[in-house]
Amino acid sequence: MLVLSRRVGEKLLIGDDIVITIIDTRGDGVRIGIEAPRSTRVNRAEVVEAVTASNLAAIAAGEGAEDVLRQLVRPASGTTPAPTASTEPDETVS
């Protein structure tokens, strides 16, 4: 890891097309500006970690979700179930 000291207004260059500018310092925090091509993703690490954890939890919860979904959409006794939309193409007879 490269550790640098910078002052407000100073910049860091990463490669040929990423510029990081020190905007402000407040107490123990630093505000930075990042100029990068649109094709370069810039994310905060804690957000990526939270989304990953949420996705993993959803996958784990989804393993039993099929049974719960069946119970929720089960028709009440004495009624006919509503038709469901099919994702299969209609068969055509020649």
In a domain, 15, yes or no: yes
User: What's the length of the chain?
Assistant: 94
- Contacts for 11 with CB less than 8 Å, ≥ 6 apart: 19, 20, 21, 22
Task: Please give the tally of structural domains in the chain.
Answer: 2
Residue type, 21: T
pLDDT recorded at residue 5: 92
Give the domain extent around 63.
43-71
| Cβ-count burial 77-86 (b if 16+ within 10 Å, e if not) | eeeeeeeeee
pLDDT recorded at residue 54: 87
pLDDT recorded at residue 93: 54
In a domain, 81, yes or no: no
Nearest-angstrom CA–CA distance, 25 and 32: 9
How confident is the prediction along the chain (94 residues), in pLDDT tens digits per residue?
A: 999 999 999 999 999 999 999 999 999 999 999 999 999 999 999 999 999 888 888 877 776 666 666 766 766 655 555 555 555 555 555 4
